[in-house]
Amino acid sequence: MTYDIIIIGAGPAGVSAALYAKRANLNVAVIYSGESQLEKAHKIDNYYGFSEGITGPDLYKNGIEQAKNLGIEVIQAEVTHIEMLAPPPKTQYSVKAGGNEYTATSLILATGNKKLRPNIAGIVDFEGKGVSYCAVCDGFFYRKKNVAVIGNGTFAVEEASHLAHIADSVTILTDGKSDDEVKSALSKDSSVAQKIKIDVRKVSKIILNEEGSKVGGVSFEDGETLTVDGVFVALGSAGAADFAKKLGLALNGDSIATNEKMATNAPGIFSCGNANGGLLQVCKAVYEGGVAGLSAVDYIRKIKQ
């Protein structure tokens, strides 16, 4: 099948892009597969218009339904390969998903930023009970408390720095990995460096608090424990960056680099939402999706002139 625009990802960024592109009367498909960040969000309490909040899975499902109701083709399949078939001025891209090949003049990457889970037994059971994947979302709940951040890169330092302004103590747990990148990133931010400790020991499990209801700490392979009220996971993500590398797109760390119109450095390829890094929130994903959708519309119209 051939489309004007293929959007990869059906989270807030991808669906917003699709809504704007479809309403400009273009031939649009959204391809998605796998868990979105939004589905992991227990409750979204800070998005405009939901006075009682809304669960992440409900908001995600509503978005996909909204796209379908507008007549957008929504295909559930994992995208495994993307390549350029024809260069400008009439670009054509091939997208392989679920054993099929789709082509389009323009692509919008809205794949989110996959959060990797550390290989720590039972960590999934603590999600929403003290294990978080987003310091900006959940840091507020740890005012004057003690938290740990699992990760060994720049992303972990970013999350720890945010938490250092809120929590009493922040310890970065590299979980047996080198702390070189963490130390290097911390050395660039003297305002928080002194508040953040680093522990390189391998974590064996998350332990419960005294009430047995939430995270109470972590235990290490050497048998010692660290008492914390919350554990933030900030492992590097390869999802968006993988596609970017395949297409030769410029990156900022693990995030796709775009201009203010969400255009990447490749002709006709736009990117939006968590894939671009920055504020990892629904409001930004929706905004960037809208901009990417309209930019792709402009791109197609110029080609068709």
Ligand X SMILES: Cc1cc2nc3c(=O)[nH]c(=O)nc-3n(C[C@H](O)[C@H](O)[C@H](O)COP(=O)(O)OP(=O)(O)OC[C@H]3O[C@@H](n4cnc5c(N)ncnc54)[C@H](O)[C@@H]3O)c2cc1C
Site for ligand X in 154-193 (CB under 6 A): none
Residue from the set 3, 102, 126, 133 that interacts with ligand X by CB under 6 A: 133
- Containing H/E element for 287? helix 282-304
- Closer residue to ligand X (CB): 56 or 198: 56
Site for ligand X in 91-130 (CB under 6 A): 110-112, 115
Distance in angstroms between the alpha carbons of the first and the last residue of the chain: 23
Q: Which residue shows structure tokens 């209801």? A: 213
Site for ligand X in 211-230 (CB under 6 A): none
Q: Is position 11 an interface residue for ligand X (rule: CB under 6 A)? A: yes
Whether the Cβ atoms of residue 256 and residue 276 lie closer than 8 Å to each other = yes
Q: Closest approach of Cβ 253 to ligand X, in Å?
A: 16
227: Cβ–Cβ under 8 A, 6 or more apart, which residues?
A: 146, 216, 217
- Please tell me whether residue 15 adopts helix, strand or coil conformation: helix
**Among 26-34, 154-162, 174-182, 212-220, the segment contacting ligand X (CB under 6 A):** 26-34
DSSP string, 222-270: TS-EEE-SEEEE-----HHHHHHHHHT--EETTEEP--TT-B-SSTTEE
**Among 131-139, 171-179, 190-198, 293-301, the segment contacting ligand X (CB under 6 A):** 131-139
Of 175, 169, 230, nearest to 195 (Cα)? 169
Q: Is position 41 an interface residue for ligand X (rule: CB under 6 A)? A: yes
- How many C-beta atoms lie closer than 10 Å to residue 116's C-beta? 15
Q: Closest approach of Cβ 110 to ligand X, in Å?
A: 5
Q: What is the rounded distance in angstroms from the CA atom of residue 99 to the CA atom of residue 136?
A: 38
Q: Is position 37 an interface residue for ligand X (rule: CB under 6 A)? A: yes
Residue from the set 50, 62, 68, 78 that interacts with ligand X by CB under 6 A: 78
- Containing H/E element for 198? strand 196-199
**Among 19-27, 36-44, 88-96, 291-299, the segment contacting ligand X (CB under 6 A):** 36-44
Residue from the set 23, 27, 40, 209 that interacts with ligand X by CB under 6 A: 40
Q: Closest approach of Cβ 134 to ligand X, in Å?
A: 5
Q: Is position 74 an interface residue for ligand X (rule: CB under 6 A)? A: no
Q: Which residues bind ligand X (CB under 6 A)?
A: 8-14, 31-34, 36-38, 40-41, 44-47, 56, 78-79, 110-112, 115, 133-134, 137, 239, 273-275, 280-283, 285
